[in-house]
């Protein structure tokens, strides 16, 4: 079985995100970038399935600027077998990402596509669902457990009432949640080995996909500072304060 894992380069989750002075977007100049944490979980799950003998090959795919090679190399160091970078200078939106991944899937013919449920930069939580719809494949979103069988995969997911397990026929699309696993620490020898693993470089034009943005970001601004709290002496005083603030 072949698995394709999509990985995205985002601002590191330890970095405090700042808006640009002109409000045109997020300031990424001289900011540490890393793999989207949910995508790390996706790579880890693919590697675990390979270690269990259920997977023969793992292909890591990233879309974006040439610097995304670093993200792919991280996935290769974690255990992926080869990488594909689809280069574009356009700021990709979920539908464009889904269309590009569809084109890659049609060429690579994987049995399973795993990706993070969302990216921590835009929090869109759309790409996996859009990809499944474009491919006409079954999907298991927010996976907290994955079990591969003969031509099927069972995905356990958290819902409001507890846990739900869905049985999907392969090929299928899975998006990963936080509780699925804990990604492994990448060791230096594996980082060195990853440099020798194959990484193909393509462009959006190679796949004939139009990635023009369909949405326009009007303004980006930081949230207002939280106001200091106030201690009151009684319930009556609390109610009076809330009335003054127009909260009740």
Tokens 């974690």 label which residue?
Answer: 78
What pLDDT shows up at residue 246? 81
Per-residue pLDDT of the chain (248 residues; tens, 9 = 90+): 999 999 999 999 999 988 888 888 888 888 999 999 999 999 999 999 999 999 999 999 999 999 999 999 999 999 999 999 999 999 999 999 999 999 999 999 999 999 999 999 999 999 999 999 999 999 999 999 999 999 999 999 998 889 999 999 999 999 999 999 999 999 999 999 999 999 999 999 999 999 999 888 888 888 888 888 888 899 999 999 889 888 77
Q: Which CATH number fits the domain 2-244, given the four candidates 3.30.565.10, 1.20.58.60, 3.40.50.620, 1.20.950.20?
A: 3.40.50.620
Instruction: Round the average pLDDT of the chain to a whole number and report it.
Output: 94
Residues of the chain with pLDDT > 70: what percent? 100
How do the domains of the chain map onto residue ranges? 2-244
Collapsing DSSP states into helix, strand and coil, what is residue 91? coil
Tokens 């640009």 label which residue?
Answer: 20
Tell me if 83 sits within 8 A of 200, measured CB to CB.
yes
Count CA within 13 A, CB hemisphere, residue 46: 36
What pLDDT shows up at residue 248? 76
What pLDDT shows up at residue 192? 94
Distinct helix (H) and strand (E) counts, the chain: 6, 11
What is the C-alpha separation between 36 and 43, in angstroms, rounded?
11
**Global confidence as pTM:** 0.88
DSSP 95-128: HHHHHHHHHHHHHH--SEEEEES--TTT----HH
What pLDDT shows up at residue 161? 87
CB atoms within 10 A of CB 208: 8
What is the C-alpha separation between 59 and 46, in angstroms, rounded?
10
Residues of the chain with pLDDT > 90: what percent? 80
């Amino acid at each position: 079985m072949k698995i394709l894992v999509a990985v995205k380069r985002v601002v590191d989750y330890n970095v405090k995100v700042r808006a640009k002075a002109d409000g045109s977007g997020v300031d990424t100049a001289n900011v540490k970038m890393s793999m989207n944490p949910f995508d790390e979980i996706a790579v880890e799950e693919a590697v675990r399935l390979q270690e269990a003998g259920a997977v023969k090959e793992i292909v890591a795919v990233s879309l974006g600027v040439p610097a995304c090679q670093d993200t792919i190399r991280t996935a290769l160091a974690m255990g992926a077998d080869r990488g594909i970078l689809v280069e574009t200078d356009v700021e990709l939106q979920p539908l464009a990402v889904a269309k590009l991944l569809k084109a890659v899937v049609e060429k690579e013919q994987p049995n399973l596509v795993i990706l993070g449920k969302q990216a921590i930069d835009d929090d869109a939580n759309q790409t996996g669902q859009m990809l499944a719809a474009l491919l006409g494949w079954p999907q298991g979103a927010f996976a907290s457990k994955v079990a591969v069988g003969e031509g099927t995969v069972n995905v356990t997911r958290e819902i409001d009432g507890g846990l739900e397990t869905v049985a999907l026929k392969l090929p299928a699309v899975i998006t990963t949640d936080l509780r699925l696993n804990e990604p492994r620490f990448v060791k230096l020898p594996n980082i060195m080995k990853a440099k020798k693993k194959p990484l193909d470089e393509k462009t959006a034009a190679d796949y004939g996909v139009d990635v023009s943005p369909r949405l326009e970001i009007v303004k980006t601004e930081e949230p207002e500072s939280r106001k200091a709290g106030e201690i009151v002496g009684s319930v009556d005083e609390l109610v009076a304060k809330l009335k003054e603030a127009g909260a009740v």
